[in-house]
Amino acid sequence: MNYNEIAEKILRHVGGAENIRTLTHCATRLRMEFNDRAKVQDEAVSVIPGVISVVEKGGQFQVVIGNEVQQVFRLLNKALPEKKGRSEEGKDGKRNGVVARVISVISTTFTPVIPAITGAGMIKALLAILKLTGLISATSPTYQLLNVIADAAFFFLPVLLAYGASMKFECNPILAMTIAGVLLHPGIGQMMAAGKPVDFMGITVLLSDYAGSVLPIILTVWLMSWVERFAEKVSPSIIKFFIKPMLILLITAPLALVVVGPAGILLNDLVAAGAASIDRHASWLIPMLMGTLQPFLIITGTAWAMTPIATGQLSKNGFEMINGPGMLASNIAMGAATLCVAMKTKNSNLRQLASSSGFTALLGITEPALYGVLLKFRRVLIAAMIGGGCAGMYAGLSGLVRYAFVSLGLAALPAFIGEDPMNIVHALITCAISIVVTFTLTWMFAFEDVAEENTASEMPALKNVPGDSVIVSPLKGDVVTLSQVNDDVFSGGLLGKGIAIRPQEGILKAPFDGKVMMFLPSCHAVGLQDEKGMELLIHIGIDTVNLNGQHFTSSLKVGDDVKAGDTLIEFDIAAIERAGYDLITPIVVVNGEDDATLRITSATSVTFGDELMVQTQTGSAS
């Protein structure tokens, strides 16, 4: 592979070095953001020899290279000019990925916050059940204390969002959270309660209640990122340690209180008023659109777009009707369509995939069903969208609202229990409509069965055959097919054939005797080569490169020799899942030849050292 030629062609077709705003890489792909997206020639990049695929996801342009990505990255990185602050916006604002950047900001900002608001939301749902059944009184100290616990994440939402926004805008997270604390300080509330005019150096300050707000802190942290670079530049080195943070707080906090915060509240209120107006005049519209288009929003990475509005409604009103009702309808529809495929197909591989992914979709995790089944059967996807749209229309007409921020599915129905006892009834009817309409359309019109695919033979008892490459399990966990991995590159087999494991212990061991060919500082992925030349990629989790090595521990280096069973990487499963990442681990043979047969275990669970895969050259004994 000619790395120089690949790098040169990529550079040419993305608009040159000056057009690359950010460049990073993970185990298999380059990740780029551009100053002018219109200059990028997607098709030309995708057909470059050595490029496996091009993917656009979460506001990033991703070029899938495979194991050699580091060599291409180094060459591209050398070609980039020294960065002097952030690049200017592209000349063509509308075509410069503005929507993608906004979605990327929302996604990065909210992802670390989800465990907190989901946990708080479920406590709210639990309190509603306890109150409804009479097991606890709303006036009891226990109820009030639990309510404080549930409200805390929403009250201090600006502080939580400040952390995520600081990751996106690459500035100091502690200072960002400190400025969020300024907006929430009790002194602000006391001045508002006094009712007297407030000014700062002669400038009138429009005080607001920032508890539970979203846009003000995101805009403030964006401003702070620029102030931080200014403070870095003007602070003398000898006293930078205390002058730089002082300047950041002294400049950003007043601007947040005087300008950015009030502007953010105004923008937030305008958006909320628009959504409320639509709900008053056409209550069915937003839930119907969400129920219909949710699969499309997931595929395009725009599913986060409505999150700030929904979160704002939950924080201020205690309920929301923007995301929840339509998402419930859509998730149930995708689960129903996928389970219908499982019941109707005679293809054992498809039945296994559809059964597991359809069940998880009913519980609110839809990506395995969407990528593994629905996108392969487009008419089934259309049936799910129709069913979701019909159920979403009913949800809107009935006034269905969600009282807690949770991943919507059958397991999350308690999130629809609130002051109105009919709300949960409407939620159940929404689910019933979604299931009945989708299942009927899929069974009668949408699904045509496919023949059994002989993609990988079950592994018989193995013999020690010269030429075979035997891979033993590097993990303890449940075995799933690659098609269940929520990443198009792995599920589509673009990097090669293999299997995936959902780990039950946070230890990755060597699957054979060999050498470390690729290892990233983020410790989330490793490339190995066995003594026969087979190359294996093990990628712990999806998008875990974003953790930058947090919760992973390893002393590996490229070139290290390893023996089967050696501990390669240790990782904290609970912490990574709390951060919002899926730990499903693809294990892929990346240099499989056309004349090679990969046999994969038929076991549904494995432990360390169990025989997992065997690659046999055609003609070898077996």
Active-site amino acid positions = 26, 539
On whether the CB atoms of residues 537 and 588 are closer than 8 A, the answer is yes
Structure tokens at 522: 């983020």
Residue whose C-alpha is closest to residue 369's, from 337, 329, 391: 337
CB under 8 Å to 422, separation ≥6 — which residues? none
In one-letter notation, the amino acid at residue 608 is F
Structure tokens at 483: 């098609």
Residue whose C-alpha is closest to residue 447's, from 333, 293, 369, 344: 344
Distance (Å) of CA 564 to CA 151, 472, 479, 530, 585: 50, 8, 19, 10, 18
- 413 CB neighbour count, 10 Å cutoff: 16
Coil, strand or helix: which one is 424? helix
In one-letter notation, the amino acid at residue 170 is E
DSSP 89: P
Coil, strand or helix: which one is 62? strand
Task: Give the CA angle between residues 528, 4, 525 to the nearest 5°.
Answer: 25
CA distance 517 to 225: 37
Phi, psi (rounded to 5 degrees) for 10: -60, -45
Judging by beta carbons within 10 Å of its beta carbon (0-12, 13-18, 19+), is residue 142 exposed, middle or buried?
exposed
Residue 598 CB-half CA count within 13 A: 20
- 164 CB neighbour count, 10 Å cutoff: 24
β-pair partners for 539: 525
Q: Which 3-state string (H, E, C) describes 539-564?
A: ECCCCHHHHCCCCEECCCCCCCEECC
Residue 450 CB-half CA count within 13 A: 13
CA distance 110 to 104: 10
DSSP 320: B
